[in-house]
Amino acid sequence: MDLSWSEREQRFRDECRSWLEANVPAEPLPSGDTREGFALHVEWERKLFEARWAVVSWPPEYGGRGASLWEWLIFEEEYYRAGAPQRVTQNGIFLLAPTLFEFGTQEQKDHYLPRMAAAEDLWCQGWSEPNAGSDLAGIRSRAVRDEAAGGWRLTGQKTWTTRGAFCTHLFGLFRTDPQAERHHGLTYFLVPLDTEGVTVRGVGRLDGDEGFAEVFFEDAFVPDDCVLGGVNEGWKVAMATTSSERGLTLRSPGRFTATAERLIDLYRRMADRVDPRLRDEVIQGWMDAEAYRLYTLADVTNIVEGRPPGARSSLNKIWWSEMDVRLHETALALLGAHGELVAGASEAVDDGTWMKGYQFALAGPIYAGTNEIQRNVIAERVLGLPRK
Amino acid sequence: MDLSWSEREQRFRDECRSWLEANVPAEPLPSGDTREGFALHVEWERKLFEARWAVVSWPPEYGGRGASLWEWLIFEEEYYRAGAPQRVTQNGIFLLAPTLFEFGTQEQKDHYLPRMAAAEDLWCQGWSEPNAGSDLAGIRSRAVRDEAAGGWRLTGQKTWTTRGAFCTHLFGLFRTDPQAERHHGLTYFLVPLDTEGVTVRGVGRLDGDEGFAEVFFEDAFVPDDCVLGGVNEGWKVAMATTSSERGLTLRSPGRFTATAERLIDLYRRMADRVDPRLRDEVIQGWMDAEAYRLYTLADVTNIVEGRPPGARSSLNKIWWSEMDVRLHETALALLGAHGELVAGASEAVDDGTWMKGYQFALAGPIYAGTNEIQRNVIAERVLGLPRK
Amino acid sequence: MRFAFTDEQLLFRDAVRDLLDKECPPEAVRYAWVSEDGRADHVWEALAEMGVIGLTVPEAFGGLGLSELDLVLLLEETGRVALPEPIVETTAVAVPLLDAVASDELKAEWLPKIAAGDAIVAVGFVGTPFVLHANVADLLVLEREDRLFALPAARARIERQPSVDGARRLYTVDWNRNDEIPLVSGEEGWHQVNAAFDRGALGTAAQLLGLADHLLAVTVEYVKQREQFGVPVGSFQAVKHHLADALLRLEFARPVVYHAAYSMAHELDTRSRDVSMAKCFASEAAALVARKALQCHGAIGYTVEYDLHLWMKRVWALAASWGDAAYHRSRVALDVLGPAGASGAGSPTSSR
Amino acid sequence: MRFAFTDEQLLFRDAVRDLLDKECPPEAVRYAWVSEDGRADHVWEALAEMGVIGLTVPEAFGGLGLSELDLVLLLEETGRVALPEPIVETTAVAVPLLDAVASDELKAEWLPKIAAGDAIVAVGFVGTPFVLHANVADLLVLEREDRLFALPAARARIERQPSVDGARRLYTVDWNRNDEIPLVSGEEGWHQVNAAFDRGALGTAAQLLGLADHLLAVTVEYVKQREQFGVPVGSFQAVKHHLADALLRLEFARPVVYHAAYSMAHELDTRSRDVSMAKCFASEAAALVARKALQCHGAIGYTVEYDLHLWMKRVWALAASWGDAAYHRSRVALDVLGPAGASGAGSPTSSR
């Protein structure tokens, strides 16, 4: 066991910290889930790319630095500590990219990855449908073969697509075998949103931003090279990387340790006004974030040494998502009657970011597999309890 | 709404308080779940009976005072406030008696009720079996008709029978129709434990007392008049009074408000030594007990006015059983390293009653229908969610 | 001993529920989010018509002269529909306060107008840092250092403080001291502020019950029809237990709130403690119900096009207004344990 | 950066597990409840044989001279079998303390005996009011007002304090001051007591992990085979989620405990805080697992004829020993927030 960073990692941290200090916008950008804010975030993403900080863990030929998982952790830690903008490219970088690396043809990788890294192509996720939320196997959107044109015609509806109204591309599952049931007969498609027959409609979200979209497909044609992995193998392709170590389940601790530090700072400012018992919630929140950091260090060690977490990654997801809610609940408890104030209120503490963050945090236990589903996974696949 | 007590109720309270003050043993009796303790508790029960405090809500002809539900609440409040002994007759008085009143023949009532009130007959419950815990319909013990002798022959095993090793009689369900499935073909029997073919074996319990028993039946004969209600109607008979207002579900608030007051007293004694945050748990416990008292007052009003709680009584059971656990957890948290000490330790606070009470409280969420079952009942029968 | 409402009280409650179902549907709440003044149309007038707005106004001034116990069920109904109006401030808080401390002239001038629905009174104490609907108030009743006074709306300089709940129009208020119309001050002022704070906390607790009731009801309906894995999500035990827990907390907060209304109406010595218990239980129960409601809805509950958020955000706001759960718990501790045992407790006027 | 144990450490752990499975089955724990001295037969000797008892004894004195990081997995194993022996007190606490402060004579006299398994040392600080297994100790190391001293067992007057865990033999100790063998006092004494307390808390946290691991494992097995309503109870979602929550808390306490062992072994400045985090997480995780284990077992878990209670009661006892969760949380708060922010925190020697 050695919990110290190597010289190389230290240098990496220093380089990244100094670049961020010099380049992170002094004024926080408006939410990237609004049209205006999104545009500004894309600018930022391109700046990151030019300095090769956009996708540090990718190979250099695709715009990365071939950074190790450890360096990726360091980058994330520094990124959040610096209070840098949210990554509006994350669905592409964290969800699609791992799948492309594993299943993409050389042509697909060479075409999509650099444009994704450079924030030229902006990807949104097309999993959920009106009748397929927790149960993705309920997908009804279909792709019909067009032999003549050498491609597929997509019809159906995707929903809850985060930032879909502002993106340029969508990746998602469509049913290519109408006979097949449930998880079978699905195919993974890469779809430009400017394709004829595709309509995108923005949907307002809890926190007031137009961060969701519904995407309608009416006989929209996409050529064969828009299929990722094999036809009718979409489920396997999609699932293979959902617990990817760069995916959602291994959420970088930096985000939460930074929130915990901000909570400590808030407590210091409010301490004279609040019930002393809140001290315990504050310190518990700080310890929970620290525990998540330590858990992740062990997790990454296992991954690096060839022991992937598998179903245990559901433990991460439950922990970070429920911790994030608690951290914000504690902050709001500290704020008392001031907690309901939002950006623009002269009396708002920290410009209402805690209430904003709370609403964002509330999505955590719901998306990427509700925590109820995650608990089933843990019980059945980690503890081995009977499914039925 | 009128939350004051009538003159009559006040007088009842005064009478009951002064009798208890004069008669409750100065030294708490040893646990009634031990053989010695049980004997002493039976003495106490007989004393209660002689003063007509044993079954205040029963008609005078059976040894009661025909007390109203309100007066019963008052009695219970005073009983616990006085720190009077636990009721080792409770299975008979609270569980069997309501069923006897509703389904018993005049002969059965005249025979059993006075002897029960006088603590001459001491009843234990024969519901659970090795394969029938939460799922009573899994009962396998059977009763075979003996036409010649005019009765039934019982065979099988009952388990987790509280104080069964010290009781004289058992009431329970036996399968009289081997063809019938699940809840059908069961019959409610009243069985003297000295019946030939009945063997009782004591089982040690978490808190160290021999408070459980396994009861074995081998071709044990009981005459027809030991059947309560109709043959093959045992389920209906048993269920009719499980949510009886004098049954387990309407646990008298007195027990918990008394515990809460003791917790407040403990906090006062420890306050200088404990983390201030525990103050909140203490006061929350006190408020939870108070809320249960108020909920019960509303409940009793509804019952008195002909609006029985029905499935909503599962709410009571969850509340009091989980509150009781929290109250004791809080007390043990106040005690810190002293919490593990038990009766006989010179350093033990309150002679270890908190740890003892904690173990007793832990049974609450398990017996009389686990709280998981109770939550299903609330969801399905109160909220109307689909069973399957 | 009878812990239940009278048939009259229940009938009045039903009538108000019918009225609000008709006059204050979700669209009215949505409208209040975007409307200039943050109010729904016509509802206030309709409620005044029915006597609800003037419920606490003495009959001599054209009201019904009824008590907190008569009001509590009606405020619960205003919560059920997320009524975007300052009824707690005007009817529950301002009227009894003015009735207790205002000059005969002031009462004669304002109480009849309030009862008629022609005047709105906004309130602001240190315990409630922001003044709700000061923008539409005709009169403000404010307090500084136990100095209670009235302020004509025209004399108030107000600055909007946007809330997460678009239908809650909150303001900070500034004024010239010589525009104050003195009501009462000193120790009597402190007592009156405490009584007013108790009424506000109680009224808010009642609204939280109604809000939570509605959130639970729509969630139950949703999980009954929403299907995943080929069955209604409401058939999953995890969802059942989420909602059973929600009902449990709500149903045990209910008698606590009604009991506090009884204590206030009968001026029991324990009334402040009883109100704090009520606000503590109602705040935590409603917050839990809101949390479960969102989780059981999933992504759809997260969209503003679906109504859930209108109720959820009101719950967040009200749970922290008029003292949050932690504050009121401390107040109970102060009463039950005494100053020694209860560190961290404060008087209602200690800022939250 | 590598947050994992070495193969050697894991192999040693496996060997100790095999030994304990053989030498310390549930019957051995039951025996300790009723045996005269509250110990299991032979286990101590077998552990000494393997070098576990003397693990922290310097090689010069016949031990392995290893660190907290080498010990933590082994103590976890002693927890897994609910070992009824004072190994935390002797190996984790007393040995490093004696090695740090005892005279050469005292070390030469005792350390080799301990390593050989021929001597047991019991400890008592103000932070740990009762002395475990003082009845079988050959030497006691005690502390009063930062005055650390050794006391020959023969000179100690002990009174048994019965614990809910029959295998834990707790005693209060009395003695004549002139029988004390002074070790260290004053500020240095305070530092040594704190270091000893940290080692005791860490060792106890490790045992709690093992205890919880076992409780969860037997519960999983039970709910897989126990049938109700025609199916295994483990197929009910409520049971699944109870046990998923148990695993969640346990698996997030684990790295916190291992990290604290690393901090102690490398004498990091944060070690006391890291240990407090470890004890806080381990105590609460184990308590939760015990609670879920009993609930998922139902009535059978409530009987003393079933083994569950042996582990459950040890968890209750250890969760509150060497500082409970609330105490250690305060200690972390003191470190992170500073005295101003952290009311109610105390030093390890403030009585719990």
The interface predicted TM-score of the complex, written ipTM, equals 0.94
Binary contact (B336, D327; C-beta < 8 A):
yes
Instruction: Give catalytic residues of B, as residue numbers.
Output: 245
Binary contact (D238, C236; C-beta < 8 A):
no
Give the Cα separation of A87 and A76 in Å (integer): 11
State the pLDDT confidence band at D341, using cuts at 50, 70 and 90. low
List the one residue out of C247, C103, C146, C130 whose CA is nearest residue C200: C130
Give the Cα separation of C159 and C165 in Å (integer): 17
- Whether the per-residue pLDDT at B212 is higher than 90: the answer is no
- Whether the per-residue pLDDT at B291 is higher than 90: the answer is yes
Region C232-238: mean pLDDT is 97
Residues of D in contact with A276 (CB under 8 A): 343-344
Active site residue A218: no
Predicted local distance difference test score (pLDDT) of residue C300: 87
Q: Which residues pair with C131 in a beta bridge?
A: C171
Give the Cα separation of D94 and D97 in Å (integer): 5
Burial C275-286 (b: 16+ CB within 10 A, else e): bbbbbbbbbbbb
Give the Cα separation of D101 and C321 in Å (integer): 58
D352/chain A closest Cα distance in angstroms: 18
List the one residue out of B113, B219, B131 whose CA is nearest residue B169: B113
Give the Cα separation of C127 and C351 in Å (integer): 5
In the 8-state DSSP scheme, what is residue A205? B
The end-to-end CA distance of chain B, in Å, is 41
Residues of B in contact with A276 (CB under 8 A): 276-277
Structure token digits, residue C162: 């946007």
Cα–Cα distances in angstroms (integers) from residue B343 to residues B209, B214, C207, in the given order? 13, 27, 49
Give the Cα separation of B77 and B155 in Å (integer): 42
Structure token digits, residue A383: 């503890």
State the pLDDT confidence band at B369, using cuts at 50, 70 and 90. confident
- Whether the per-residue pLDDT at C349 is higher than 60: the answer is no
Binary contact (B203, D172; C-beta < 8 A):
no
List the one residue out of C339, C209, C341, C191 whose CA is nearest residue C279: C209
Region D297-308: mean pLDDT is 88
- SS3 at position C152: strand
Write out the H or E segment, with its range, that includes residue A298. helix A278-304
Predicted local distance difference test score (pLDDT) of residue A244: 52
Give me the residues of C, 148-177, that contact A with CB < 8 A.
159-165, 168, 170, 172
Mean pLDDT of all residues in chain D? 94
pLDDT tens for C79-116 read 999 999 999 999 999 999 999 999 999 999 999 999 99
pLDDT tens for D236-276 read 999 999 999 999 999 999 999 999 999 999 999 999 999 99
Binary contact (C329, B375; C-beta < 8 A):
no
- Whether the per-residue pLDDT at B204 is higher than 50: the answer is yes
For chain A, list residues with pLDDT below 50. 245-248
- Report which residue type is found at C231: V
Region D126-139: mean pLDDT is 94
Q: Which residues contact A151 (CB under 8 A, 6 or more apart)?
A: A221, A222, A223, A224, A226
Give the Cα separation of D263 and D257 in Å (integer): 10
In chain A the beta strands, taken as DSSP E runs, fall at: 123-126, 142-146, 151-158, 169-175, 186-192, 198-203, 212-223, 227-228
Burial of B107 (0-12, 13-18, 19+ CB in 10 A): exposed
State the pLDDT confidence band at D347, using cuts at 50, 70 and 90. very low
State the pLDDT confidence band at D349, using cuts at 50, 70 and 90. very low
- Whether the per-residue pLDDT at B246 is higher than 50: the answer is no
- Whether the per-residue pLDDT at D210 is higher than 60: the answer is yes
- SS3 at position B279: helix
CA angle C320–C287–A257, rounded 5-degree value: 80
Predicted local distance difference test score (pLDDT) of residue A206: 77
Predicted local distance difference test score (pLDDT) of residue C350: 37
Residues of B in contact with D228 (CB under 8 A): 133-135, 138
Chain centre to alpha carbon of residue A4: 28
Predicted local distance difference test score (pLDDT) of residue A243: 56
Predicted local distance difference test score (pLDDT) of residue C346: 36
Predicted local distance difference test score (pLDDT) of residue D41: 82
Question: What DSSP string describes D316-345?
Answer: HHHHHTTS-HHHHHHHHHHHHHHHHH-TT-
Q: Which residue has the higher pLDDT, D341 or D113?
A: D113
Predicted local distance difference test score (pLDDT) of residue C340: 64
Q: Which residues contact C22 (CB under 8 A, 6 or more apart)?
A: none
Counting as contact any 3 or more CB pairs under 8 A, the partners of B are: A, C, D
Give the Cα separation of B387 and B376 in Å (integer): 9
**Long-range contacts formed by A199-205: CB under 8 A, 24+ apart:** A200/A164, A200/A165, A201/A165, A202/A164, A202/A165, A203/A159, A203/A160, A203/C303, A203/C304, A203/C305, A204/C303, A204/C304, A204/C305, A205/A33, A205/C302, A205/C303, A205/C304
C232 touches chain B (CB under 8 A): yes
List the one residue out of D286, D328, D205, D322 whose CA is nearest residue A280: D328
Give the Cα separation of D86 and C195 in Å (integer): 60
pLDDT tens for C106-124 read 999 999 999 999 999 999 9
State the pLDDT confidence band at C183, using cuts at 50, 70 and 90. very high
Pairing relationship of beta strands C139-144 and C121-124 according to DSSP bridges: parallel
C322/chain B closest Cα distance in angstroms: 19
Give the Cα separation of B123 and B42 in Å (integer): 12
Residue D128 CB neighbour total at 10 angstroms: 26
Backbone angles phi, psi at B345, to 5 degrees: -80, 125
Q: Which residues contact D98 (CB under 8 A, 6 or more apart)?
A: D106, D107, D110, D111, D121, D141, D150, D183
Residues of B in contact with D129 (CB under 8 A): 337-338, 347
The upper half-sphere exposure of residue D99, i.e. CA atoms within 13 Å in the direction of its Cβ, equals: 26
Mean pLDDT of all residues in chain C? 94
Which residue intervals of chain C are DSSP H helices? 7-23, 26-34, 43-50, 68-80, 87, 95-101, 104-115, 186-225, 237-265, 271-297, 308-320, 325-341
C233/chain A closest Cα distance in angstroms: 10
Region C168-196: mean pLDDT is 95
Give the Cα separation of B334 and B279 in Å (integer): 9
* Residue from the list A160, A345, A365 with its beta carbon closest to the beta carbon of C295: A365
Predicted local distance difference test score (pLDDT) of residue B248: 43
Predicted local distance difference test score (pLDDT) of residue C341: 60
- Report which residue type is found at C283: S
- SS3 at position D231: strand
Point out the catalytic residue in the list A245, A322, A329, A340: A245
- Whether the per-residue pLDDT at B210 is higher than 60: the answer is yes
Chain centre to alpha carbon of residue A352: 23
Binary contact (C238, D236; C-beta < 8 A):
no
List the one residue out of A46, A134, A341 whose CA is nearest residue C297: A134
A–D CB contacts, 8 A cutoff, strictly below: 143
Give the Cα separation of D127 and D324 in Å (integer): 10
State the pLDDT confidence band at B251, using cuts at 50, 70 and 90. confident
pLDDT tens for B43-65 read 999 999 999 999 999 999 999 99
pLDDT tens for B61-91 read 999 999 999 999 999 999 999 999 989 998 8
Q: Find out whether B383 and B369 touch, Cβ atoms under 8 Å.
A: no
In A249-364 the beta strands, taken as DSSP E runs, fall at: none
Predicted local distance difference test score (pLDDT) of residue B270: 87
Q: Which residues contact C66 (CB under 8 A, 6 or more apart)?
A: C55, C56
Structure token digits, residue A330: 């504690």
Predicted local distance difference test score (pLDDT) of residue A50: 97
